[in-house]
A = this chain, B = another copy of it.
């Protein structure tokens, strides 16, 4: 009934347990977290946790599902929003998923939470579609590939936020940290690290080393053209 951010006190026990699990899994990892501690944080008995979720594994699946629901809700909202910014879409996602950032980071690095990643990649692809219309030269890779890698890169800041905060000199969740991060991102997204000529040269070199299988990779699958 009340979908708008109720106090933890008002939530059902089931939701409280799930939120506590998100926190504990995020902080200590799945194996490191204990159902007893999760139950205690949620203010219930360990038995109730089992009653609602059955096993620890099922509890994690419920956490994953909750995250997916959150992200899909954000997507709807972003679709209805102005088509302007594909970039502060990611920022908005990170903000909304803020409390669960650590959990999300762990889930993603473990290869889980595929729908979350794919939904974000889908949004990036739309953003790229608009970009490609204004583009003259043919891309090096198809749109989905670029959207995928771009999404991974966009997620990096959230996943590695401790390191980013350390390098920036300000916590990215603080106000000045977020501001500095946004400025840095704007610069990075608008100023390429490689000129088109350099990129083309690298690509040609890449194609060449690919032909003779390279020195680092010693599998002889392709025929040398000598």
Contact = CB atoms under 8 A, between A and B. Distances in A.
Contacts of A206: 179, 182-183, 186
A144 interface: yes
Copy tally for this chain in the complex stands at 2
Contacts of A173: 220-221
Interface string A195-226: 11011001100100010010011111101101
Consensus secondary structure, chain A interface: helix
A10 B174 CA distance: 50
Interface of A: 2, 5, 7-8, 28-32, 85-88, 91-92, 94-96, 98-99, 105-106, 108-109, 111, 114, 117-118, 121, 127-128, 131, 135, 139-141, 144-157, 159-160, 162-164, 166-169, 173, 175, 178-196, 198-199, 202-203, 206, 210, 213, 216-221, 223-224, 226
